[in-house]
Structure 1
Amino acid sequence: MFLQPLLAKKIIAEVKKMYEREVIIVNTDGLIMASTNDERVGRFHEGALICAKEKRNVIITKEDEKKLKGVKAGLNLPVFSDRDVIAVFGLTGEPAEIQPYGELLRKMTELFIKESWHLEQSQWRERMLESFMIDWLQLKEWSPGFLEKALLLGIDLASPRQMILIQGYEWSRYEIEQMTHIWKSAYPSDLFIRWGNERILINHEVPKHEQRDRLLRQILLICSFAHTANSRYAAAGAGRAVASSSLTDSYEQAEKALAVSLKRKTPIFEEDLKLDMCLTEISPGTRNEFPQRVFREALQRLELMNTIRTFFHHDLSLKQTAEDMHIHINTLRYRLSKAEQLTGLRFDRTEDIVTMYVALYFLDQDTK
């Protein structure tokens, strides 16, 4: 492992917040990568080179300033990764005074580097997984390179798979990590992938005796966490279990289920879709035009549209609708009569009821 200059500069920036004296970070060739004194960056430091080669602390005295190139009186300490020196940490000042600070700052630097390395490895795996998933969904035949990646990532291509899409908001890294932990505590072999800014893709490895209730509980846990973390609803759609080679089918099903979940505000399994299965296939142009044809002038009357929407929400119950809207039942009857006049449709005819329901479905779906 090598310490990159960018990371060295970040470490120096953190050290400056807690230590006032001059500090440098030097690579194993003796070149200063970062310093609280910008003028020293890029210069050779002979004391640090000795420190790196001999893997020991090197005290620099005033006399050494005359003999060693590029040094100042102080202390040089090797920075380790496992047993290898990856950099040298240098402080100026009287060695006896700065020794305690030196050891503390060296340890802090090693921890900072270790955390950064783990983060880098994690991000590398995330990028690999995302790239692999794109290939998995797009390739018609699995190439040798694809199979090699699967082996490298430890992915079993023989197991049935089920795609799940979750959509919420722009997730933070912390939220992704927490949700990954929640999910993998139940399904450790699943692939949990950030899929754009607002989506999560779960490639679920279906066990031999899958329990749908258990899977639903995990989906609800993720949605509940998202709501608790950001007070915003997260929708979830699940496709059907398919062979690994037919993953695209399950993904497309998950997309359809997700579209319905966004409307109903509850997780949806594609296999449960009935009327929605047909409605999601309608072209965007028709979806946009149909409500205009059905509701006509009523579309411009927000109170009237809200009344119609609430009436359908309560399964055409006059009593429940009036109670929900806090209006007299005669007021409700008047509004519904007005809606019938403006639309030319009636609430006591099955065909007209279905027509208005479908128009409302398109209207609410396409204004989200």
Structure 2
Amino acid sequence: MQLTESIAKQIVKRSMKIIKHSVNVINEHGIIIGSGDPSRISRRHEGAVLAINENRIVEIDGATAKQLRGVKPGINLPIIFQHKVIGVVGISGDPAEVRNYGELVKMTAELIIEQSALTTQFQWNKRHREELVLQLIQGSQLNEAQLESIAERLDLDLSQPRIAAIVKVDSFNGEHLSLEHLQKLVELLEYPERDNLVAIASVSMNEVVVLKPITLSDGGWSRKEEEKRIQQLMQRIASEGKFTIRIALGSYFPTLQGLSKSFKTAKATIESSSSKGNVLFYQDNILPVIFHGLKQDTWRYEQLCQPLTRLKKNDSKGTLLKTLTVFFKQNCDIAQTCKALYIHRNTLRYRFDKIQLETGLDINKIDEKTRLYLAVINQ
């Protein structure tokens, strides 16, 4: 840890709120870098050099001060950090008057330095945690041993099975989203779920990626458990952060290399899903994810949607398209479709006949039914 001008100013400011005497902070080279008397800054303090070299308190009276350069009467105490002298704090005045303040000012200085060191370490850890997350989701060139070594230095457990989740932020309390807002969201995602690995994941600065711990069993990972945790998270974010967000959870893939695949499935889910829900699971959106981007392949998209286009032309009220959509949402269950639409089975059969007539596709044939389904989910 090195004394900086910023830390020195804090020490001087806080100490001089306690005592009326001028306080000086001297670095390890004996140069004054903070002082209640600005004219003394950048001067070499020979009394402080003695305190540093001999690691002892140096008192200077009026007579001694005349024999040394850059020195006034006062008391100089070594600043200790991790058992090492890193500088000196001095109090100007008659040693007999300021002696009683010495230990108090020294303690103040060392507490400020310790706090600064902890903050610096926290920021270093946070930055490197984010860099590790980005390495994992982007498919790092580092091997697993190297990634685990980095994680160990950050006190992280990469052996814990995880899935990727993407949190997309639409707004914060109705305001335009800023970097400060996004950092607040990161804090909400990190605590109290301390095992979450979190990083800002998009250039547009509106997406945060979370590598969430999961519990594996013989049947895979528990979606029900994750749904419960996600709902708790949504409630906390809504109450504490006032964010408007959507969350997409990817699939699970074993090994550290699998985290990049999990991220890709979560990313594709949030980009491709037309669902109005604010919590999305890849498992519920596999086909839309797989066919995402089809619209950019113009001729294929036109071929896929051609039957639906013909249907829409002769379905002015949208009754047939709605029937088809509900039928697929009910997993092609005729009874449930009739119940959802409040119609009789005969009415449904009649509408299916009309759909076949307009589209040229038979809903009772698996390949033609599949084509209709893909057209509906990609419209």
**TM-score, scaled to structure 2:** 0.65
Note the C-alpha offset of 1:211.
3.3
Residue in 1 that maps onto 2:78 = 78
- Separation of aligned partners in 2, 1:61 and 1:175: 56
Could you tell me which amino acid in structure 2 is paired with residue 216 of structure 1? Answer: E
2:139 matched residue in structure 1: 138
**1:154 CA drift (Å):** 4.9
CA distance in 1, matches of 2:286, 2:114: 52
**Change in CA separation of 1:148 and 1:230 when aligned onto 2, cut-off 3 Å:** closer
Q: Cα gap change, 1:158/1:21 in structure 2, threshold over 3 Å: closer, same or farther? A: closer
Q: Which residue of 2 aligns with 1:165?
A: 166
Higher radius of gyration, 1 or 2: 2
Alpha carbons 2:65, 2:71 under 8 Å: kept: yes
Given the superposition, is the C-alpha separation of residues 174 and 160 from structure 1 closer, same or farther in structure 2, using an over 3 Å criterion? Answer: closer
Give distance in 2, aligned partners of 1:102 and 1:173. 40
2:237 to 213, 218, 226: 226
Give the superposition deviation at 1:173: 5.6
After the TM superposition, which residues 143-292 of structure 1 pair with which residues of structure 2 at under 5 Å, given as runs? 145-146=146-147, 148-154=149-155, 160-168=161-169, 169=177, 170=179, 171=181, 176-177=186-187, 179-184=189-194, 188=195, 190-195=196-201, 197-209=205-217, 210-243=221-254, 244-259=256-271, 264=276, 266-273=278-285, 276-277=288-289, 280-283=292-295
State the Cα distance separating 1:248 from its structure 2 match: 1.8
Q: Percent identity?
A: 23
CA distance in 2, matches of 1:179, 1:246: 22
Q: Which amino acid aligns with 2:240?
A: A
Correspondences of 1:18-29 after superposition (within 5 Å): 21-29=21-29
User: Could you give the per-residue CA deviations for residues 322-356 of structure 1, whole angstroms, max 9, x where no partner exists?
Assistant: xxxxxxxxxxxxxxxxxx99x984232227986xx
CA deviation vs aligned residue, 1:110-151 (integer Å, no higher than 9, x gap): 222112111211221222222223333233562875454344
Higher helix share: 1
Q: Deviations over 1:276-309 (max 9, x none)?
A: 53674355798xxx9xxxxxxxxxxxxxxxxxxx
Structure 1 residue 46 and structure 2 residue 46: aligned? yes
Q: 1:139 to 1:237 in 2, by over 3 A?
A: same
| Equivalent position amino acid for 1:347 in 2 | G
Contact 2:133–2:198 (CA under 8 A) maintained in structure 1: no
Moved more, 277-286 or 217-226: 277-286
Counterpart AA for 2:140: L
Change (3 A) 1:227 1:11: farther
Cα distance, 1:25–1:231 mapped onto 2, change above 3 Å: same
TM-score by length of 1: 0.67
Query: RMSD in angstroms over aligned alpha carbons?
Result: 4.0
**Structure 1 segments unaligned to the other structure (5+ residues):** 291-339, 364-368
Alpha-carbon separation, structure 1, partners of 2:213 and 2:107: 42
Q: 1:174 to 1:32 in 2, by over 3 A?
A: farther
Rounded to whole Å, the distance in 2 between the matches of 1:228 and 1:152 is 34
Whole-Å separation in 2 of the counterparts to 1:30 and 1:103: 20
| Greater displacement, 100-109 / 57-66 | 100-109
Kept after mapping to 2: 8 A contact 1:81/1:110: yes
Change (3 A) 1:285 1:99: farther
Residue 265 of structure 1 and its aligned partner are, at CA, apart by: 5.3
Deviation at 1:236, TM superposition (A): 1.7
1:179, distance to aligned residue in structure 2 (A): 3.7
In the superposition, relative to structure 1, how do residues 211 and 146 fare at CA in structure 2: closer, same or farther (>3 Å)?
Answer: closer
Asked if the contact 1:256/1:277 (under 8 Å) is kept, the reply is yes
